[in-house]
Chain A
């Protein structure tokens, strides 16, 4: 995978068609069509708000908790969608791979891009609620794109790894489903990090070394409130707090290498 080749004209054309097709097919035959991309996060927000903010009364000490919650949820949804769609991308285009030779990573990227488009639409909803909730915008908002890039790279790396493994081991989809469920609770999405610090500060630090926790907390810091606990303000040693970022960078290299090594045999194994 030469970097210069990834976005050659031919590959861009193909990527575009694949994404467009996927988007067209996703909402085909539904009355509201694309509107669902916006309606789904709205509905999700309504449920989360009622259950966690009103009934369970979680996050009372967190500023703008409903938006805080929604941000975490929206980012987690993207992570789940991108990795799951990316994982099945190679196997579900088996028919294509067996008949024509083209760069396989395009299909994995295409799977994650549809999730990315959904995510960006969801972010619009997040912004609307931020305004309704009276969130003060900070200069740190300009750092949000960096966080999104990290989130995307992390999801793509996992998608590359999983998609190549899934060709050989079909159990992967079930295993990943379980891991995702576990990881959902190992990531501070529903509960605020401050609750964890109250129980065990060491545990909270370990928790934030998980890249998803780091990413979500960084996003909340940029978007909602500077009271959000991030890996850099919880762990004093910069050599430790930089670990999740380094992990993401290393993972994308390892995943690309693994994918490249295995892609030669996709056509005969898929």
Chain B
């Protein structure tokens, strides 16, 4: 943890923000007059942020995490002074540069060079300032001879690199970065990460807005978890990560599991039912696609009939690859899963599954009789991806050497 002095650079107190959402397109006099005549508001008020409180200390790397639509971008725009709060206080001590989006003000009809000056001016740099930084910017962006071509002829990667290399020159006390890492290729991301590390070393205050917990855990000292416009917690990254992944599980949509009936793919008494099966990776992102070698967490949600609330059960999984080979069949026999929780997770650290398509069978059994409550063949499928080709069923993890 970076220890700055304990001075707060950002203080947010009892912050409220709502938007007026027009019922119909109302950008006109006609609608305005109609609404006025009918004494109708013509809009609905949607509360986006509800009583947010937190502060950011000097030199801190602060994360703001939340799912899409949680209000984190609105919060960010309020911090950046783009929106005005309805109620509450935002106090910012020091200069602040927001990067809601990279390359703000980029014009496709101008050359890279001209865009550098324009974008720089928006960040408060004069031409003279920009001339000093010009070579660094072009070098970092790896643009070289393309710099005098029009921006519209750049690849998207080139544009992002150029924008980012200008952005990081801003010498403000507080930097706000919104999902900056979501763009660019692996090489560029590595570069960004290095920049973050050095910014952190310089003791600058940085606010990172993201839905990727891995970056929060990697860089942040503290994080704010925001959900449905409310601040759920301001806490350590690891704690925030737990809260955030729980939010994701709670809210993830069932994978369209049909009502339990007796057919060749699904059978059982149905007293305990499989409600949802999902997979997430080391970054707690729920996705049926995972990288080779990444952590693999299988999350099964169950639903019990009232009479079976305290019934002990066992769970079994079968991971079947595209050649119909059962790669693994872990089960909970001999373990005590308890009866209180309705979410069961099977975690695989650094999954050895080779790249390919997999089917997952899930079954819940009565612990005593062994009768199936819900036996679900191919409850979901998932994919392991890698940029390296591989043979065989699993990675056995041997080490190569020569003598």
A10 near B27: Cβ-Cβ < 8 Å: no
The stretch of A21-29, A57-65, A178-186, A241-249 that contacts the partner chain = A21-29
Inside 8 A of A24's CB, which chain B residues have their CB? 110, 114
Inside 8 A of A17's CB, which chain B residues have their CB? 117-118, 121-122
B122 near A100: Cβ-Cβ < 8 Å: yes
Name A1-24 residues within 8 Å CB distance of B. Answer: 9-10, 13-14, 16-18, 21, 24
Among A98, A101, A170, A267, the most chain B Cβ lie within 10 Å of the Cβ of: A101
A101 near B84: Cβ-Cβ < 8 Å: no
B125 near A97: Cβ-Cβ < 8 Å: no
Name A76-109 residues within 8 Å CB distance of B. Answer: 95-102
- The one of B27, B30, B32, B80 that contacts A101, using a Cβ cutoff of 8 Å: B80
B101 near A14: Cβ-Cβ < 8 Å: no
Say yes or no for B104: interface residue by CB 8 A criterion.
Answer: yes
B109 near A25: Cβ-Cβ < 8 Å: yes
Say yes or no for A265: interface residue by CB 8 A criterion.
Answer: yes
Say yes or no for A236: interface residue by CB 8 A criterion.
Answer: no
- The one of B28, B77, B98, B121 that contacts A14, using a Cβ cutoff of 8 Å: B121
B82 near A101: Cβ-Cβ < 8 Å: yes
B98 near A101: Cβ-Cβ < 8 Å: yes
- Given A100-B82, A264-B84, A267-B82, also A170-B28 (CB < 8 A): yes
Inside 8 A of B54's CB, which chain A residues have their CB? none
Contact pattern, B 1-43, Cβ under 8 Å of A = 1, otherwise 0: 0000000000000000001000000011110100000000000
Say yes or no for A169: interface residue by CB 8 A criterion.
Answer: yes
Query: In whole angstroms, what is the CA distance A175 to B32 when docked?
Result: 15
Query: In whole angstroms, what is the CA distance A97 to B29 when docked?
Result: 24
Among A9, A100, A265, A267, the most chain B Cβ lie within 10 Å of the Cβ of: A100
A268 near B19: Cβ-Cβ < 8 Å: yes
A171 near B28: Cβ-Cβ < 8 Å: yes
- Given A100-B82, A169-B27, A267-B77, also A25-B121 (CB < 8 A): no
Say yes or no for A226: interface residue by CB 8 A criterion.
Answer: no
B27 CB to nearest A CB, Å: 4
A28 near B98: Cβ-Cβ < 8 Å: no
Say yes or no for A40: interface residue by CB 8 A criterion.
Answer: no
| Size band of the interface chain A makes with B | 20 to 34
A100 near B27: Cβ-Cβ < 8 Å: no
Inside 8 A of A101's CB, which chain B residues have their CB? 80-82, 98
Query: In whole angstroms, what is the CA distance A15 to B126 when docked?
Result: 11
- Given A101-B81, A268-B83, also A13-B32 (CB < 8 A): no
Query: In whole angstroms, what is the CA distance A167 to B379 when docked?
Result: 52
Among A14, A18, A97, A171, the most chain B Cβ lie within 10 Å of the Cβ of: A14
Contact pattern, A 163-192, Cβ under 8 Å of B = 1, otherwise 0: 000001111000100000000000000000
B32 CB to nearest A CB, Å: 7
Query: In whole angstroms, what is the CA distance A265 to B77 when docked?
Result: 12
Query: In whole angstroms, what is the CA distance A169 to B33 when docked?
Result: 11
B125 CB to nearest A CB, Å: 7
Say yes or no for B105: interface residue by CB 8 A criterion.
Answer: yes
- Given A21-B114, A169-B27, A267-B77, also A10-B124 (CB < 8 A): yes
Inside 8 A of B109's CB, which chain A residues have their CB? 25, 28
Say yes or no for B100: interface residue by CB 8 A criterion.
Answer: yes
A47 CB to nearest B CB, Å: 31
B224 CB to nearest A CB, Å: 21
Say yes or no for B107: interface residue by CB 8 A criterion.
Answer: yes
Query: In whole angstroms, what is the CA distance A21 to B110 when docked?
Result: 8
Query: In whole angstroms, what is the CA distance A267 to B73 when docked?
Result: 13
Name A220-256 residues within 8 Å CB distance of B. Answer: none
B82 near A9: Cβ-Cβ < 8 Å: no
A189 CB to nearest B CB, Å: 29
Inside 8 A of A102's CB, which chain B residues have their CB? 122
Contact pattern, B 72-93, Cβ under 8 Å of A = 1, otherwise 0: 0000010011111000000000
Query: In whole angstroms, what is the CA distance A95 to B103 when docked?
Result: 11
A14 near B30: Cβ-Cβ < 8 Å: no
A96 near B104: Cβ-Cβ < 8 Å: yes
Inside 8 A of A265's CB, which chain B residues have their CB? 84
B149 CB to nearest A CB, Å: 14
Contact pattern, A 154-170, Cβ under 8 Å of B = 1, otherwise 0: 00000000000000111
Query: In whole angstroms, what is the CA distance A28 to B80 when docked?
Result: 34
- Given A168-B27, A267-B77, A268-B83, also A13-B104 (CB < 8 A): no
Query: In whole angstroms, what is the CA distance A10 to B124 when docked?
Result: 5
A170 near B107: Cβ-Cβ < 8 Å: no
Inside 8 A of A16's CB, which chain B residues have their CB? 121
A99 near B104: Cβ-Cβ < 8 Å: yes
B28 near A169: Cβ-Cβ < 8 Å: yes
A267 near B110: Cβ-Cβ < 8 Å: no
Q: Given contact pairs A21-B118, A96-B122, A267-B82, enumerate 5 new A-B contacts (beta carbons under 8 Å).
A: A13-B124, A100-B122, A168-B27, A175-B29, A267-B83
**B residues lining the A interface (CB < 8 Å):** 19, 27-30, 32, 77, 80-84, 98, 100-101, 104-105, 107, 109-110, 114, 117-118, 121-122, 124-127
**A residues lining the B interface (CB < 8 Å):** 9-10, 13-14, 16-18, 21, 24-25, 28, 95-102, 168-171, 175, 264-265, 267-268
Q: List 5 A-B contacts (CB under 8 A).
A: A13-B121, A16-B121, A101-B82, A171-B30, A267-B82
- For the complex of A and B, list the 7 residue pairs with the smallest distance between their C-beta atoms, beginning with the closest: A17-B121, A101-B81, A264-B84, A170-B27, A99-B100, A171-B29, A267-B82
